[in-house]
């Protein structure tokens, strides 16, 4: 009934401690989360290593998941250890060498008042093979556009949580960017500085220094971003965490998106629609190709996630014992 066309190699999913065939759908259309986006989720990746698939920074993702649940006032019906085991299990059950893992906690079926008094939180964990998030072109760098609408502000929502409803803004603007002919959107924050992408953080490089922003700038402070800051220092690069002005991006030597889904993907051109929604002057970053530092960091990230850098082995959870 439900083909896995866009979920490569997905055979089963885990839902409330049971495994279901991927083709089988079991939820009622009146679940609370479907109507109001009352859910929270994680995006986690597993990579092939010499010891089989390993999940990158699983503990940190599950900690964030439970934090997000607190923000949306949900009690997770499982312990952290049980969710960790469900993530490991679903990769084994699907026999995946690499995977994107999606734990989702949502208010389920009960009532439809905005306060989900009778709608219990339920948990799903799915996994499948997901290639480059921004497509095959990612290796050559992508073109992004600064969209006219500003990112939801951290005075309005707690952006340290990954809440389903917040991603409506991501979806609308990600679609707008593609309609305008670009690969991805970039949000400014209400202060007019660079915030983040719809599902990615942003790093810029100028004069050899890797520079990114933090939660004070209305972003989700990503686990990838935090890992890359450490990897970059380990490689000997200077790093800086401070607000990114729009000009810092437009005049950067190099820039990249980073996140679990997008990994490290260079931004080679930025169009700025922030001042006029009908006109987006374009800026080429560096020489219009992924730059040397972003490339070096992306290579090292690949080594780290695939278990080829012993210093960061501590970040991997192997799927098999």
Ligand X SMILES: Cc1ncc(COP(=O)(O)O)c(C=O)c1O
The continuous run of DSSP H or E covering 60 comes out as helix 58-71
Closest separation in Å from C-beta 201 to ligand X: 5
Closest separation in Å from C-beta 260 to ligand X: 3
Span of 220-228, 279-287, 290-298, 310-318 interacting with ligand X by CB under 6 A: 220-228
- Binders in 254-273 for ligand X, by CB under 6 A: 259-260
Closest separation in Å from C-beta 224 to ligand X: 3
Q: How many CB atoms lie within 10 A of CB 166?
A: 17
Residues 6+ apart with CB under 8 A from 184: 134, 142, 144, 145, 174, 177, 197, 198, 200, 257, 267
| DSSP class of 129 | B
Q: Which of 122, 183, 184, 200 binds ligand X (CB under 6 A)?
A: 200
Residue 290 is a binding residue for ligand X (CB under 6 A): no
Task: Report residue 178 as tokens.
Answer: 């593609």
Select which of 8, 11, 80, 162 is catalytic.
162
Strands 184-186 and 238-241: unpaired
Residue 32 is a binding residue for ligand X (CB under 6 A): no
Task: Report residue 57 as tokens.
Answer: 């920074």
Size of the site for ligand X (CB under 6 A): 12
Nearer CB in complex with ligand X: 43/164: 43
Span of 98-106, 113-121, 217-225, 298-306 interacting with ligand X by CB under 6 A: 217-225
Q: Which residue is nearest to ligand X (CB)?
A: 222
Residue 196 is a binding residue for ligand X (CB under 6 A): yes
Q: Which of 95, 129, 116, 208 is nearest to 164 (CA)?
A: 116
Residue 68 is a binding residue for ligand X (CB under 6 A): no
Q: Which of 185, 223, 267, 319 binds ligand X (CB under 6 A)?
A: 223
Span of 32-40, 173-181, 218-226, 297-305 interacting with ligand X by CB under 6 A: 218-226
Round to whole Å and give the CA distance between 101 and 80. Answer: 15
256 to 31, 138, 266: CA distances (angstroms): 38, 11, 4
User: Which regions of the chain does DSSP assign to beta strands (E)?
Assistant: 12-15, 18-21, 39-41, 44-49, 52-56, 99-107, 121-128, 142-146, 184-186, 201-206, 209-212, 238-241, 254-259, 263-272, 282-284, 316-318
Residue 38 is a binding residue for ligand X (CB under 6 A): no
162 classed as catalytic: yes
Residue 45 is a binding residue for ligand X (CB under 6 A): no
List, by residue number, the catalytic residues: 162
Q: Which residues bind ligand X (CB under 6 A)?
A: 43, 196, 199-201, 220, 222-225, 259-260
């Amino acid at each position: 009934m439900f083909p896995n066309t866009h979920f490569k190699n997905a055979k089963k999913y885990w839902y409330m401690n049971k495994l279901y065939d991927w083709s089988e759908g079991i939820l009622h259309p009146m679940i609370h989360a479907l109507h109001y986006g009352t859910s929270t989720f994680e995006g986690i990746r597993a990579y092939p290593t010499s010891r089989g698939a390993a999940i990158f920074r699983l503990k940190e993702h599950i900690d964030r998941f439970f934090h997000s649940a607190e923000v949306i006032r949900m009690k997770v019906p499982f312990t952290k250890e049980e969710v960790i085991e469900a993530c490991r299990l679903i990769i084994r059950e699907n026999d995946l060498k690499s995977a994107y893992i999606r734990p989702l906690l949502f208010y389920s079926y009960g009532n439809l008042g905005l306060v989900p008094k009778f709608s219990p939180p339920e948990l799903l964990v799915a996994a499948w093979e997901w290639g480059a998030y921004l497509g095959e072109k990612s290796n050559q760098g992508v073109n992004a556009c600064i969209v006219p609408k500003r990112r939801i502000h951290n005075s309005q929502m707690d952006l340290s949580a990954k809440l389903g409803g917040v991603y409506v803004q991501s979806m609308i603007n990600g679609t707008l960017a593609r309609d305008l002919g670009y690969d991805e959107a970039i949000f400014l924050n209400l202060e007019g500085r660079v915030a983040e992408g719809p599902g990615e953080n942003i790093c810029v490089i100028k004069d050899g220094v890797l520079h990114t922003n933090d939660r004070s700038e209305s972003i989700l402070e990503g686990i990838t971003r935090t890992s890359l800051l450490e990897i970059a220092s380990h490689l000997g690069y200077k790093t800086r965490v401070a607000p990114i002005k729009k000009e810092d991006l437009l005049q950067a030597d190099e820039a990249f998106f980073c996140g679990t889904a997008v990994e490290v993907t260079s931004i080679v051109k930025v169009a700025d629609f922030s001042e006029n929604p009908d006109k987006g002057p374009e800026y080429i970053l560096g020489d219009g190709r992924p730059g040397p530092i972003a490339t070096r960091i992306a290579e090292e990230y690949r080594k780290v996630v695939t278990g080829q850098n012993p210093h960061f082995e501590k970040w991997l959870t192997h799927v098999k014992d």
